[in-house]
């Protein structure tokens, strides 16, 4: 499940889980993380993955190796973390003077923080929990796997397909490419992975586009009735994550504009796709102030006139109020 630090009105992982976990409230994942069989790490994007799948991606061997100095620093930090148990980045920074570095978006950050992130990615450390949104780290114990690497790769592709299907061919290729970030030691096998997936997954060609879905699912099944419900979705929710599929299914382009200059935004800072029945017909920007929720809605065409839509929208906003603990 993809994670994102922005809270407008809540983090993406919370907004995603509220539709899938009965009684879920904002922050429940962070509160329960240490009790769950999940790991915070990179998969096809940064977020959370089941522990039984997580250990299949390790040990990672990134293409860019460390210098002798970098390895020395990492081993010193590793010994410190082993002795301390769980550490905050500030504690590592106080113990070691690693200076500052330029981060990926051009700003400056503490070198110790970046080193911890690199050690986490390599599998030397794991995120023990978060406090106030900040990662706390501890030693990661590796669990060797006897599974054949090819079977591991196919298993991870199956996780992708189960999460994002039905997938047009181009999107399946994009996600398998992104998987190279989670398993850099097997990046060179991405094309064979994709070829095997296309051969073994159920598929169909519709209007010239090949679509793929998991074994055992039936996209044409009539057992699932479309409910008279409104759902406000996170920008990274699996239902809308694939922008190519979004345009195929709903006929308009949705873009995440939080990092777009305000003057150039079309739909808003954190516009949440608005799903009505089985159609995404618009978006909503939600804000909280003094314990109250306010909403600004936009529609691709016009707002539905049915009373059932009005009631369903009111119900969804009320669910949001409960979810946000307002």
**Whether residue 113 is found in the same domain as residue 167:** no
Provide the pLDDT confidence category of residue 106 given band limits of 50, 70 and 90.
Answer: low
Task: With 0.85 as the threshold, say if the pTM is over it.
Answer: yes
Provide the pLDDT confidence category of residue 92 given band limits of 50, 70 and 90.
Answer: very high
* Confidence at residue 182, expressed as pLDDT on a 0 to 100 scale: 95
**Whether residue 237 is found in the same domain as residue 318:** yes
Percent of the chain with pLDDT over 70: 96
Instruction: Give me the chain's average pLDDT, please.
Output: 93
Task: Please indicate, yes or no, if residue 309 is contained in any of the structural domains.
Answer: yes
**Whether residue 208 is found in the same domain as residue 288:** no
CB proximity list for 135: less than 8 A, separation 6 or greater:
40, 89, 116, 120, 127
Task: Please indicate, yes or no, if residue 45 is contained in any of the structural domains.
Answer: no
Count of structural domains, the chain = 3
CB proximity list for 67: less than 8 A, separation 6 or greater:
none
* Conformational region of residue 157, where left means phi above 0, alpha means psi within -120 to 50, and beta covers everything else: alpha
Q: CA-CA distance, 182 to 159, in Å (whole number)?
A: 13
Length of the chain: 326
Residue 107: pLDDT over 60: no
Structural domain ending residue among the three candidates 139, 157, 186:
139
| 157-204 per-position pLDDT tens digit | 999 999 999 999 999 999 999 999 999 999 999 999 999 999 999 999
Q: What domain range is 205 assigned to?
A: 149-212
Task: Please indicate, yes or no, if residue 49 is contained in any of the structural domains.
Answer: no
- The mean pLDDT value for 141-145 works out to 84
Task: Please indicate, yes or no, if residue 318 is contained in any of the structural domains.
Answer: yes
* Confidence at residue 100, expressed as pLDDT on a 0 to 100 scale: 63
**Whether residue 234 is found in the same domain as residue 319:** yes
| 21-77 per-position pLDDT tens digit | 999 999 999 999 999 999 999 999 999 999 999 999 999 987 677 889 889 999 999
**Whether residue 202 is found in the same domain as residue 134:** no
Residue 98: pLDDT over 90: no
Task: Please indicate, yes or no, if residue 22 is contained in any of the structural domains.
Answer: no
DSSP state of 270: T
Task: Please indicate, yes or no, if residue 13 is contained in any of the structural domains.
Answer: no
Task: Please indicate, yes or no, if residue 202 is contained in any of the structural domains.
Answer: yes
SS3 assignment, position 142: coil
**Whether residue 236 is found in the same domain as residue 315:** yes
Structural domain ending residue among the three candidates 90, 106, 139:
139
**Whether residue 199 is found in the same domain as residue 130:** no
* Confidence at residue 132, expressed as pLDDT on a 0 to 100 scale: 84
Pair of tokens at residue 316: 């969804």
**Whether residue 241 is found in the same domain as residue 267:** yes
| 215-225 per-position pLDDT tens digit | 999 888 888 88
**Whether residue 127 is found in the same domain as residue 166:** no
CB proximity list for 48: less than 8 A, separation 6 or greater:
1, 3, 13, 29, 38, 39, 40, 41
**Whether residue 129 is found in the same domain as residue 176:** no
């Amino acid at each position: 499940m993809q994670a994102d630090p922005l809270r407008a009105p809540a983090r993406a992982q919370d907004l995603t889980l509220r539709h899938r976990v009965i009684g879920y409230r904002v922050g429940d994942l962070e509160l329960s993380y240490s009790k769950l069989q999940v790991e915070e790490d990179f998969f096809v994007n940064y977020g959370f993955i089941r522990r039984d799948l997580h250990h299949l991606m390790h040990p990672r061997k990134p293409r860019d190796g460390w210098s002798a100095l970098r390895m020395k620093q990492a081993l010193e930090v590793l010994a410190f973390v082993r002795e301390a148990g769980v550490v905050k980045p500030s504690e590592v920074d106080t113990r070691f003077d690693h200076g500052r570095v330029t981060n990926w978006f051009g700003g400056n950050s503490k070198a110790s923080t970046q080193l911890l992130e690199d050690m986490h990615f390599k599998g030397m450390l794991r995120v023990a929990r978060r406090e106030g949104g900040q990662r706390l780290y501890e030693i990661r114990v590796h669990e060797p796997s006897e599974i054949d690497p090819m079977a591991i790769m196919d298993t991870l592709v199956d996780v992708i397909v189960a999460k994002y299907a039905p997938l047009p061919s181009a999107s399946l290729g994009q996600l398998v490419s992104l998987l190279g970030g989670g398993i850099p030691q097997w990046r060179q096998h991405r094309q064979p992975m994709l070829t095997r997936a296309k051969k073994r997954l159920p598929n169909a060609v519709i209007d010239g586009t090949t679509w793929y879905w998991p074994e055992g699912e039936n996209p044409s099944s009539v057992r699932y009735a479309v409910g008279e419900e409104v759902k406000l979705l996170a920008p990274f929710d699996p239902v809308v994550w694939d922008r190519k599929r979004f345009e195929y299914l709903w006929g308009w382009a949705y873009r995440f504009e939080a990092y777009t200059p305000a003057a150039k935004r079309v739909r808003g800072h954190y516009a949440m796709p608005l799903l009505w029945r089985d159609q995404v017909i618009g978006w909503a920007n939600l804000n909280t102030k003094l314990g109250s929720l306010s909403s600004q809605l936009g529609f691709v065409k016009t707002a539905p006139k049915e009373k059932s839509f009005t009631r369903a929208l009111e119900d969804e906003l009320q669910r949001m109020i409960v979810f946000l603990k307002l």
